[in-house]
Structures are given as C-alpha cells and as structure tokens.
Structure 1
C-alpha cells in the first residue's frame, strides 16, 4: 500500500507538476483513498490509470486535493484590522498598492479585498492578482456566483452595493470582478514575482509539511517589498517570523523588515 501511494505521488508529479509529498501524508492519503473507493477503484495504481484517461476524473482529483472552503470576510475581525489599521499605512507608502491573493480558491478572498479597497479609492484603480493551482476553482471565481452561506459575514452595505440575487445564488458585481486578474499557479514550483505591498494567503499553509512551509515563507518574504504585509489564516501563526525577515504587526499579520 505504501509503495502504491509512493508510485502514485511520482506519477502525479510527472503528469501535473504537483508534488503530493509536500502535503501531510495521512491527511492526503485518507482524502484520496475515500475518493477513489467512491469511484469504484481498488488501488492508487488503478485510480491513476483512470485519471490519466478521463479528464473529468482528473478535474475531480484536483478539486479534492486543493481543499476549497471559502467565504467572504472570513474571520471578519481580521479584515477589520486590515481595513482600519494596516491599509491606511500601506496606502501612505503607495497610493496604487500591488496586492496578491495567493491560493484564492473560488474568489471570495480577492473579491473581499476589492470591496475593502473600494472604501479607499475608485474601483477602476484597484488591481488585485489572484492565483490558484486548480483551474476549476478559477473558472468558478470568474463566474462570481455564490451560495448564500458564503455571504454570511459580508457587511450589509457591501451586500446591497455589490451583490444581486440570482435564483438561490448571489452574483458579484462586474465592477468588483474587473479589479481581479486570475491566474493558475503552483505555489511551490512557480516564481512569485513582486514586489507586493500586501500578500494574502489564508487557510492553505496548514496543509503543507513544515519543510514546504519553510520554502513558502521564504518565497513570500522575498516577494514583499520592505514594510509589505503578509496576512495568514487563523490557524497559521508563524512562530519564528524573524527567520523570514518578518515582524509581527498584529495577530496573523506580518510585516517585512
């Protein structure tokens, strides 16, 4: 069984460029085993053969692997800190800040950033890069249609201004959509570009091993300009920020030295 999974990891890396060995093994193995059993396969080997031949199965595998749980203004108090305390400082340094939402899933995060930025400048001046590994979720983000539960934390004024009801869903306004450029990206393998004034990467790093996190923190740090802000999820505190040239600016916010 262990060998079967190792071979699967090697095959997937060749086929997609994704290195599953950088994810926590027990978690990933459990998730993928239940997926292939549900589809009627008996081993990782059988499953790999199937996903090599069936585009839909491959897409489902990628979707499952990239854990998409997202909502607007998730952990609202943190977004408040960004809006009230940190963005004014960022805008003092750069009136057209360079912003990146990494591992953006179905788009709630970059669109939240755009709504917050709309309080500081015309939306026509807001530019946000949003990246994810999964083309499926990027396609869904571009459509901009969300179930009601995704909007639980959205302030009422923002909900009225930027969402319209569409059947049992809510559609986000085109003027918000236009502020975000979506791109496919593998965080571990691809270059980051920059320098950014703000990088948001939340509720993704928990799925990586400590070694992979170390690589990513270094890459994020290198992609920020001095005094740039790195915003992580509420289970992703960096315990030794100094190692990456970060200083703690607030809970779950780190400033590049």
Structure 2
C-alpha cells in the first residue's frame, strides 16, 4: 500500500480528519516538507512520531490547515459586504441582531474584521459571531488577539485607532471586539453545522478541497443558511454553478440562498 494512503487512513482513525478530501498533490507536498524539516524520511515514521508526541501532532495540524490570514483581506469585497450585503440582511432581519458564522477562521482576523464591519451598523453588545477552525493552536492565538503589523495593512485608519493597541511590536485587539466572537473547534467535513445563519463567511479554504468535498460543503453551507442568507467566499473560490446548490449570485463571491 502507498505510504501516503496508509497515512491518510491512520490520520482519519486518530483525528477524524479525512485527508482524502483534500487535493492530494498540494497536501502531500506540504506534509513531506514538514516531515523532512522534522527529520523524518517517510510517512510511516512521521505517523509514529505523531502518535508519540502531541507537539508533532500540533505541527501536523498547523501545516495542513494553512493559517494564512489578515484583516480586511481583499478589501474591495469587504466594501461590498458593508455597502450592499449587510444593509439588505439587516433589513430582512427587521433590525434584529444577525446570526453570523466565520468558518475556518484561522487565527481570528476574519471574525474580528466581521465584528468591526458590523460595528458600523449596531453596537458591539448586539454583535455575536461564531468562529470555528480545525486547528486548536490557531484558535488559541485568535483568543489572545495579538497580531503583527503586516496583518493590519488593510485595516481602515479609524478602525485601527479605535480597536487596536500597540504592545511592543505587536497590535492587541480591543477586548470589546473579542467579546463579540465565540471560538469553537470544528471539522467542516465531518461535523454537523448549526442552522438559521444570516451570513456565513468561509474564505480561502475551499480551494484546498477536492471537487467532491466542495460539492458536499456547498450543500451543507446552504442548509445552514436562512432563506435569503448569504455565503461569502474567497477571491479564488467563485462558484460557477450556484443554482445547483440553491444559491443565486448576489455579487462577485457573494451567494444568496434561494428556495426552489
């Protein structure tokens, strides 16, 4: 048996993560680079080390979940969210607080950006965002809320002054913003989703999955939205056949749930 296939089976038994649903060439290349850096020469030895050492398991999870993020990433899309999508969702919800989910939230930049954008429409105490990720290390870092300056390059000046404090060479996000976000561990492919969301944001993650996995996830995300709710994806993740999943394009990279 191919040692990578065996590794995927062992990892699924140990963690519940099905690596087969990720694009094989990308994932294999990333994991080989990791095990070589750690001093191993094959997947069998790498898995034995994962079994024995929680730190190596954490490194594996960190590598496979691609924790690359920044605030207001692809800023023009956030402008569309603020100027077009949110006003409609707020009107549709009769002014009541929106139910919002940041899926695969990495180290927190995305849900905290959502909170800052929503603060233009409502007080922080009315904002509640669920943020989930597979990587507990990323979630821990998100809860700390400490970021290098490069993560803040796209943050509007007024928001940077209002919601960040310089601590040494890092920027600490405001405690009131942190209170708006609840972080949880979640495996998108294996775990059930909550429902009745007004807005789901899942950006720059789906590109790593196979077409079969994406097909499964689009259906799960649609089921998790209210009718008229919006699914916001990353700038390389356009859905070319949205109606197949009961979505209609509301703007580029924004998809509205429709009912048949």
Deviations 1:121-155 (A, max 9, x none): 11011000000000000000000000000000000
1:102 is aligned to 2:71: no
Determine the structure 2 residue equivalent to 1:202: 203
1:246 is aligned to 2:247: yes
Using the alignment, how far apart are the partners of 2:153 and 2:221 within structure 1?
30
Determine the structure 1 residue equivalent to 2:155: 154
Alpha-carbon offset, residue 101 of structure 1: 0.3
Deviations 1:184-233 (A, max 9, x none): 00001001111100000000000000000000000000000000000000
Determine the structure 1 residue equivalent to 2:129: 128
Consecutive unaligned residues in structure 1, runs of 5 or more: none
Using the alignment, how far apart are the partners of 1:97 and 1:253 within structure 2?
17
Using the alignment, how far apart are the partners of 1:154 and 1:248 within structure 2?
27
Determine the structure 2 residue equivalent to 1:27: 26
Superposed, 1:1-257 pairs within 5 Å as 3-94=2-93, 95-257=96-258
Using the alignment, how far apart are the partners of 1:100 and 1:80 within structure 2?
18
Q: How many residues align?
A: 256
Using the alignment, how far apart are the partners of 2:199 and 2:38 within structure 1?
41
Alpha-carbon offset, residue 93 of structure 1: 1.6
Using the alignment, how far apart are the partners of 1:201 and 1:42 within structure 2?
35
Q: Secondary structure of 2:2's partner?
A: helix
Using the alignment, how far apart are the partners of 2:27 and 2:249 within structure 1?
31
Using the alignment, how far apart are the partners of 2:101 and 2:156 within structure 1?
23
Q: So what's the TM-score if we normalise by structure 1?
A: 0.99
Using the alignment, how far apart are the partners of 1:99 and 1:194 within structure 2?
10
Using the alignment, how far apart are the partners of 2:122 and 2:36 within structure 1?
51
Alpha-carbon offset, residue 34 of structure 1: 1.1
Across the aligned residues of Structure 1 and Structure 2, the Cα RMSD in angstroms comes to 0.6
Q: Secondary structure of 2:122's partner?
A: coil
Q: Secondary structure of 2:26's partner?
A: helix
Alpha-carbon offset, residue 72 of structure 1: 0.2
Alpha-carbon offset, residue 156 of structure 1: 0.1
Alpha-carbon offset, residue 40 of structure 1: 1.0
Q: Secondary structure of 1:181's partner?
A: strand
Q: So what's the TM-score if we normalise by structure 2?
A: 0.98
